[in-house]
Structure 1
Amino acid sequence: MSSIFDCHDEAQLLAGMRHARQAIGRGELIVMPTDTVYGVAADAFSPTAVQRLLDAKGRGRNQPPPVLIGSVDTLAALAESVPEPVQRLVDAFWPGGLTIVLPAQPSLVWDLGETLGTVAVRMPQGRVALELLAETGPLAVSSANLTGHDAAISALDAEKMLGDSVAVYLADGLSKDGIASTIVDATSLVRRGADDGDALVRILRDGAVSREQLHEVLGDLLEPEQQEEQPVDAAQEEHQDGDS
């Protein structure tokens, strides 16, 4: 039986955070509020828990979940390297609604699915999310919905779709605007080098951070907007659908 805790009530918040930490430690799933939409979360370093997350959503291993972190410093531990233009994005938009795809740190022992050596990372805003992440460490988090359905903007929405596949629901009212994060692919800045003229940051999904805002930070390093829809390769497609 799932438990739902109202985070507006301080007593329920404390109890909910404790139960959420315990559930994560057991390899179970929780639903948590973020600054974009509600997310369903699992221990990023537990392959069993990550697979449980994918199964709950009806999602394949070719769509690995992003990872939410509670501190900017954690990015360096998860990514192979953090190029200077990526650091500018972090300084401008974290915590906030920008997910950044980078080559993953090769030494990491985890299994998020078929990532092709990449990881999508975001630091969210919000007291509940950041306090939880500070205690659990990085969490694999995808939008709290069944694949193909609208992202949940309340814990009740999430509970209707995910039911008892989730152990703990942390309810914190309605999402502020229900807009998912913008996802950008910055892998070429690492694999080619930021000084390579073909190394550009590509927008994989429009969301909370606009193209105009990204261009203000990146300038010509932001790939020009395509006039016609272009094919998306597997390394990019995996990070587009259904993430918070």
Structure 2
Amino acid sequence: MTKVALEKLIAGVRAGVVVSFPTDTVPALATLPKKAGLIFATKQRSQDKPLILMGASAEDLWPYVQGSQEEYQIWQQVVNQYWPGALTLVLPASDRIPQAMNPHDPTTIGIRVPNSAIAQAILSRTGPLATTSANLSGQPALQTMAEIDDQFPDVLTLEFTPEEFFSENTILRQPSTVAKWTGNNWKILRQGAINLSI
């Protein structure tokens, strides 16, 4: 059993281990970006399936992407409309992104700010994390901390959700929509919880 309190979960992240916590979609597996290889190993995930960089705010994530001033303005408009929320934007990666986050194509990175108080509380203290859904590759996403604890006994999971987060009812239980910037418009790579209208 690897269920831990919030403070121990945050300490675990900082120590470079894989953890799991709830988000506004499905629960995440997460670790420091430089330790992203641990997630691929834990999930038995193919390296052509990149991880998502999740942060507490857009400001935390902008240093990890690069583009022209005009592109940043376009991206910011989308962010203002849909974040925090179940939208992952795939953008050109800056040199701050470890290749392990996206071994197949290290020139891009998916970024997201979840609409989840508990996830944001963790991310605000750890900084942006490499994340993916909590499941073995090719299997359905696990929905509860108990399921994750059973499937991944070495992953730190939250023992309980602190009382201030009990009222959350924003869990969508489906993956985020993934939209990739092509240089002049957006291409939907995965239709998920959000319908993008831009």
**Does TM-score exceed 0.5, indicating one fold?**
yes
- 8 Å CA contact 1:100, 1:184 repeated in 2: yes
CA deviation string 1:148-200 (max 9, x = no partner): 11112211122222222x033355489823111000001x22xxxxxxxxx32
* Structure with bigger RCO (C-alpha 8 Å, 6+ apart): 2
Q: 1:202 to 1:171 in 2, by over 3 A?
A: farther
**Aligned partners of 1:54, 1:28: CA distance in 2, in Å?**
13
Provide the C-alpha distance between the structure 2 equivalents of 1:59 and 1:122, rounded to a whole number of angstroms.
20
Q: 1:175 to 1:154 in 2, by over 3 A?
A: farther
RMSD over aligned CA atoms reads: 1.9
2 CA distance for matches of 1:141 and 1:170? 19
Q: TM-score, normalised by structure 2?
A: 0.87
Q: Would you say the 8 A contact 2:26–2:173 is kept in 1?
A: yes
Letter in 2 for 1:136: T
Q: 1:18-68 deviations in whole A, cap 9, x for unaligned?
A: 111111122111101000010000011x2xx21111111111222221010
The equivalent position to 1:181 in structure 2, one of 176, 180, 184, is: 176
Q: Partner of 2:124 in structure 1?
A: 134
Partner of 1:200: 185
Question: Could you say what secondary structure the match of 2:62 adopts?
Answer: helix
The unaligned stretches of length 5 or more in structure 1 are 5-15, 190-198, 219-244
Runs of 4+ off more than 4 Å: 170-175
CA contact (8 A) 1:19 1:168 kept: no
- What aligned pairs does 1:22-101 form with structure 2 within 5 A after superposition? 22-44=11-33, 46=34, 49-81=35-67, 82-101=71-90
Bigger-Rg structure (1/2): 1
- Report Cα offsets for 1:99-153 as digits up to 9, x if no partner: 00000113x1623131331110000011111011111001001001111111122
CA distance in 1, matches of 2:187, 2:75: 12
C-alpha distance in 1 between matches for 2:116 and 2:46: 29
2:148, 2:157 within 8 Å by CA — same for their partners in 1? no
